[in-house]
Amino acid sequence: MNPAELTQAALAAPAPDMTLIGLFLQAHLVVKLVMLGLLGASVWCWAIIVDKVVLFSRMTKSMDRFEKIFWSGQSLEDLYRSLLNRQNHGLSAVFVAAMREWKRSHEAGRTSFLGLTDRIEKVIDVTIAREMERFEGRLLVLATVGSAGPFIGLFGTVWGIMTSFQAIAASKNTNLAVVAPGIAEALFATAIGLAAAIPAVLAYNKFTADAAKLGARMEGFADEFSAILSRQIDDRS
């Protein structure tokens, strides 16, 4: 078969469907599964990202507001009463937890302040840990997708190229027009993998840093507040 005929035949062949749907439908089952999985991962990642963005922004705002109120000289009793019936997060949660422990120690009528400081600090630590868990929860998903996504996509690509090479071997035609569609659709898997992984990695890094910042802020507030409480305890004892 002379080259001219080959090119003619290749030109005469219908152009392969190169739209997104076409690429997906032509792919091998394994590649399809990889693509679907990566698409799901991407959806989940973005859900987490949106969630975290909303959470962190809301958290920062609420912390700012709480600190403003806290240092405004308002009575801590009033503040505690106004916050008690609300769902509290962040600094207010720390404050409420510490105040609750303080109140309980007083309501029981016990005047022994022995061990109260330890209890309050423990409560504060637990609260901070719970809050931190809320901040960092699901960030691991982002990390996993970010690191594994390219590999999964690469697996789909390798599989697709493998099958397309098998097809080439079967058709005994190495014309580029025959080879190209299979490789294109195989590379599509890697593209999806990267598309899922890149935002995940970026978001993971940013959210980890944000969570650490919020945690430090909470730690600082907890220290200050426990210092105030221990001063009170020392005064009363």
Partner 1 sequence: MRVGLTTSVIGHTLLLAWGLVSLPSAKPFDVQAQVDALPVDLIPLSDVTRISEGKKTAPKKETASTGKAKPPTPRPESQKIGNARTDQDAPVTEKTTDTAAAPTRQAAAPTPPPPPPAPERPKAPEKAPTPPAPPEPAPAPEPEPVKTEAPKEAPKPTAEVAELPAEPEKQVETPPAPTPAVAPKSKPKPPAPVQTAALDPKPAPPSKETKRSEEVKPVDTKAPPKEEKTETFNPDDINALLNKVDPSGGGSQASTEEASLGSEKATGPVADMSQSEIDALRSAVAACWNYPAGADGAENLVVRLRIEFTPDGDVAGTPAILEQPAGPLGTVAAEGAVRAVLRCAPYTFLPPEKYEVWQVVNFRFNPAEMF
User: Footprint of partner 1 on this chain (CB under 8 A)?
Assistant: 3-4, 7, 15, 17-22, 39, 42-52, 54, 184
Minimum distance of partner 1 from residue 41's CB (angstroms): 11
| 119 vs 137, beta carbon nearer partner 1 | 137
- Token digits of residue 188: 């599509």
**Residue 191: C-alpha distances to residues 104, 107, 138 (Å):** 58, 63, 24
Exposure of 149 in the CB half-sphere (CA atoms within 13 A) = 26
| 8 vs 166, beta carbon nearer partner 1 | 8
Minimum distance of partner 1 from residue 3's CB (angstroms): 6
What is the spatial distance between Cα 26 and Cα 204, in angstroms, rounded to a whole number?
A: 34
- Token digits of residue 39: 């698409």
| 20 vs 126, beta carbon nearer partner 1 | 20
Minimum distance of partner 1 from residue 153's CB (angstroms): 16
Name the CA radius of gyration of the chain, rounded: 30
- Give the dihedral sign, CA 117/119/121/124: negative
Minimum distance of partner 1 from residue 55's CB (angstroms): 9
| 35 vs 99, beta carbon nearer partner 1 | 35
Widest distance between CA atoms in the chain = 104
- Token digits of residue 168: 């080439």
Minimum distance of partner 1 from residue 157's CB (angstroms): 18
Angle between helical axes of 29-70 and 91-107 (0-180°, round to 10): 60
What is the spatial distance between Cα 54 and Cα 135, in angstroms, rounded to a whole number?
A: 11
| 123 vs 189, beta carbon nearer partner 1 | 189
What is the spatial distance between Cα 49 and Cα 176, in angstroms, rounded to a whole number?
A: 41
| 18 vs 202, beta carbon nearer partner 1 | 18
- Token digits of residue 207: 């959210």
Minimum distance of partner 1 from residue 78's CB (angstroms): 33
